Structure 1
Amino acid sequence: MKKKTSFSTKGSSADLGPLSISRMLPNRYADKVGPFVFLDYVAPAIKETITKNGMGAHPHRGIATLTYILQGEVEHFDSAGNTGEIHSGGVQWMKAGNGIIHDENFNYDSQTHSKYIQGFQFWINLPAKNKAEKPAHIAIQANEVPEKVLSNEDGWIKVIVGNYQGLIFIIPTYSEQFLYHIHLEAGKQFSLKMEDKIEVAAFLPTQNVVLNDTEFQKGEFVEFDREAGEIELKNASDIAIDILIFGGEEYTEPVVAEGPFVMNTQGEIADAYRDFYAGKYGKIK
């Protein structure tokens, strides 16, 4: 049985210099999908020069951030002393834990010299018991991301979070969660089976896609119901397309989000701000 669609939306967009950023989650219909509480999409844009300054240092607490860069280069630095640089197809994961200040710098890829930038940033909510842990950081290059070629050369699937048919990524998970990047060639299709009570959404960054017999537009965020069933993806166009599928088991603890902090109570939000202003998150050196 095919899963039903709960809603679809195109989110909101804002320009940051040469970059156009679309806020897909939270949106007017949903605050989270499984443990995912935030998704920004950096649409394809040309950046002519490499800049040394970051996007702006800021704190986080209670979440893990995940940056997946399709085209371009991202440099990370934080107050725990972690640094890292990923190139097109790479992934950066940072557990904010009990508090950290970080910054990221988006540039075109110095390895390929392509001027395009395109990517995603997710926030993954941590269970209450993990929110007080020490921060951590992992940088993964494109050749380390698990990938499986689909049958009949229909395309491929990359596992960015979680696992799929024996492919397991090294990013830590604290609940059942997944993030897949699916690439479908022209005229091809692919299906995923979802278990009961799993929250799941799709984002369509490049072209229109037919999801369970309904065509959705480029730039749409589509959430499905929580019944067990199948998600069938069809590429009805004459060029290859890309789709992100992500979600996981429901986050059942209370969620209180304010600014860069995601905690379980309003009191914990107040503590997060108090500790930040008291300098307990350290400084980026």
Structure 2
Amino acid sequence: MSNIETIIPERAANIGNFLVGRLLPFKEKRMVGPFSFIDHMGPAKMSAEENLDVPPHPHIGLSTLTYLFEGSIMHRDSIGTEIEINPGAVNWMTAGKGVAHSERTPERLRNTSKTLHGLQIWIALPKDLEQVEPSFYHIEATQLPTWEEGGLRYKLIAGKAFDKKSPVPVHSDLFFIEIKSTKKQKVTCGNKLYGESGLYILQGAVINNGNTYKPKQILVTKDANLCEFEMEENSIIYIFGGTPFPETRTIHWNFVSSDKNLIKKAREDWKNQNWPKVPNENEFVPLPNSKF
């Protein structure tokens, strides 16, 4: 990118029985557009005795986007959804005023060797939708817009960009794009993007102004409209961002809100288990002791 403002490294974080690479939030850059949280899961090779088991936990004020490269996750939530997500598909859950969900290895894989690799993303809701009723949508990989330009393969996973629109029902102006290179290639976004823009390198390398950037970091630009760089052969990157909100967002544990009182109430409700339940789930992630 020709106007890199911040470089965010991937940092280890523990989400129960699974270690992930935390990308957002970052102390120097809490959000990129409406994107408030990104975890890189894996790639993790798991034995027949190892499984992903994240019990029910709460969210408010955000939408979650789950996108897998390898493996499968069984999603269950307090709306009554029970669905398996597989590579290339999108799980889009809007928490709004409050939802709980669990994420586990599907039963069919629990006694087998397996691999899990993907991205977990939180996207903050506009202020007037922070208390909306929760909802869930599953979008198959075949429904997402894909196209090729030269030696580049594009996929618009969510939002609007490059004069295309994803069927994922987002709530604000944003974009989340996958680009794969088959050869060394220049990428020019021109005026196809807007707001703030971040670039995550999953595989390969990105070259800008003589500097080479490799996986496990996000490059954040000052102006999305000036996005220009080179991709090495067989690289995979994700460009994400959009129009930032005028209000500051507080991110505390699994809660995101422009109103700290809503977070305080969510904490108390979860602590007292005054919260919608996930059907057929008896466990839950306890409220952490961290002060707010």
TM-score, normalised with respect to structure 1: 0.87
65-74 vs 15-24, which moves further = 15-24
Is residue 232 of structure 2 the alignment partner of residue 247 of structure 1? no
Structure 2 residue corresponding to 1:262, chosen from 256, 260, 265: 256
CA spacing shift, 1:42–1:156, aligned 2, 3 Å: same
| Counterparts of 2:155 and 2:278, CA distance in 1 | 32
1:225-263 deviation line (CA, Å, top 9, x unaligned): 13742322321x5xx110010000111113122111111
- The one-letter code matched in structure 1 to 2:250 is V
Query: Runs of at least 4 residues of structure 1 off by over 6 A?
Result: 50-53, 107-110
Shift of 1:204: 0.7
| Counterparts of 1:168 and 1:197, CA distance in 2 | 14
Tell whether the 8 Å contact from 2:186 to 2:228 is kept in structure 1 after alignment: no
- The one-letter code matched in structure 2 to 1:69 is L
Tell whether the 8 Å contact from 1:34 to 1:198 is kept in structure 2 after alignment: yes
Query: 1:197-208 alignment to 2 at 5 Å?
Result: 198-208=195-205
What does residue 32 of structure 1 align with? 31
Question: Which runs of 5 or more structure 2 residues have no equivalent in the other structure?
Answer: 280-292
Shift of 1:274: 2.7
Query: 1:110-125 alignment to 2 at 5 Å?
Result: 115-125=114-124
What does residue 77 of structure 2 align with? 78
- What secondary structure sits across from 1:193 in the alignment? coil
| Counterparts of 1:181 and 1:213, CA distance in 2 | 23
Shift of 1:56: 2.1
Cα RMSD of the aligned pairs, angstroms, is: 2.6
What does residue 61 of structure 1 align with? 60
CA spacing shift, 1:277–1:251, aligned 2, 3 Å: same
Percent identity of paired positions between Structure 1 and Structure 2? 26
Shift of 1:64: 0.4
What does residue 146 of structure 1 align with? 145
Shift of 1:116: 2.7
- The one-letter code matched in structure 1 to 2:218 is F
What does residue 187 of structure 1 align with? 184
Tell whether the 8 Å contact from 2:177 to 2:238 is kept in structure 1 after alignment: yes
Is residue 167 of structure 2 the alignment partner of residue 173 of structure 1? no
* Equivalent residue pairs, number: 277
Structure 2 residue corresponding to 1:231, chosen from 216, 228, 232: 228
CA spacing shift, 1:273–1:226, aligned 2, 3 Å: same
1:117-157 deviation line (CA, Å, top 9, x unaligned): 21001100001111111111111222222211223xx1311
Tell whether the 8 Å contact from 1:79 to 1:282 is kept in structure 2 after alignment: yes
Query: 1:100-115 alignment to 2 at 5 Å?
Result: 100-106=99-105, 115=114
CA spacing shift, 1:106–1:166, aligned 2, 3 Å: farther
